[in-house]
């Protein structure tokens, strides 16, 4: 399922959204609960190796419920087998660092996208980063060597996970221009208070094909 289809679906079924039309561009700002649901569906669609049935089971489970086993039949389970995917070591240390980078960057800069956070976390050095002033930010200057979230793809997945878990605050605006597909712009605007106190309560395990672990900054 494509993101745009998902967003269009949510716009049709969700209520309590701010809707404005200006020069033919329709802007929708869903209420915070609806936004969290959109992010959860985006995360579900973006995962490549996390069993679909396990994801749904976890979404509706209570704390302390036993986790479901991978079904070995869904597209993601098939991907795991096809790409020789393995569980990576627990990424809790990297998650703490990702949280600190997010906190620092959003405290210094007014409009931070998920890509900005990942670029700073992975120490990208591009013209875009320079023009935004990120290369001299405190977040960029942090000295830390990532142990598990070594690729951008894994960093994006972890950030998305933090958003869906409610530890990183993200907001979205949906725009629709006549006869064009709906677009969704997201920005990160902070970290939940005392989030670092809760990070250690769960394990942060991601999956990757064996070759992906060699990608380092």
Q: Which residues contribute to the site for Zn ion (CB under 5 A)?
A: 51, 71, 74, 77
What is the nearest approach in angstroms of Zn ion to the Cβ of residue 76?
6
Q: Which is nearer to Zn ion, 41 or 95 (CB)?
A: 41
Q: Which residue stretches of 109-151 are H helix?
A: 114-121, 127-131, 138-141
Q: Which is nearer to Zn ion, 74 or 172 (CB)?
A: 74
Q: Which is nearer to Zn ion, 19 or 73 (CB)?
A: 73
What is the nearest approach in angstroms of Zn ion to the Cβ of residue 78?
8
Residue 172's φ and ψ, nearest 5 degrees, are -135, 150
What is the nearest approach in angstroms of Zn ion to the Cβ of residue 51?
3
What is the nearest approach in angstroms of Zn ion to the Cβ of residue 57?
10
Is the dihedral angle over the CA atoms 143, 149, 152, 157 positive or is it negative?
A: negative
Q: Look up tokens 């672990």; give the residue.
A: 213
* Orientation of helix 152-164 relative to helix 114-121, angle to 10°: 130
Q: Which is nearer to Zn ion, 53 or 186 (CB)?
A: 53
Is the dihedral angle over the CA atoms 53, 56, 59, 60 positive or is it negative?
A: negative
């Amino acid at each position: 399922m494509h993101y745009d289809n998902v967003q269009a679906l949510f716009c049709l079924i969700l209520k309590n959204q701010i809707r404005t039309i200006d020069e033919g561009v329709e802007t929708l700002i869903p209420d915070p609960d609806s936004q969290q649901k959109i992010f959860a569906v985006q995360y579900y669609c973006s995962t490549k190796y996390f069993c679909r049935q396990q994801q749904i089971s976890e979404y509706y489970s209570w704390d302390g419920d036993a986790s479901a086993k991978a079904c070995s039949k869904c597209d993601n389970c098939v991907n795991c087998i096809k790409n020789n995917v393995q569980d990576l070591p627990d990424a809790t240390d990297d998650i703490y660092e990702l949280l600190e980078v997010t906190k620092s960057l959003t405290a210094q800069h007014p409009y931070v996208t998920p890509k900005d956070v990942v670029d700073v976390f992975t120490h990208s050095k591009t013209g875009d980063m320079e023009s935004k002033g990120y290369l001299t930010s405190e977040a960029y200057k942090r000295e830390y060597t990532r142990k598990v979230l070594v690729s951008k793809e894994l960093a994006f997945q972890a950030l998305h996970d933090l958003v869906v878990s409610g530890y990183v605050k993200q907001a979205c605006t949906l725009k629709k221009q006549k006869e064009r597909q709906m677009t969704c712009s997201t920005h990160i605007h902070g970290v939940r208070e005392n989030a670092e106190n809760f990070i250690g309560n769960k394990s942060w395990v991601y999956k990757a094909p064996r070759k992906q672990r060699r990608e380092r900054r």
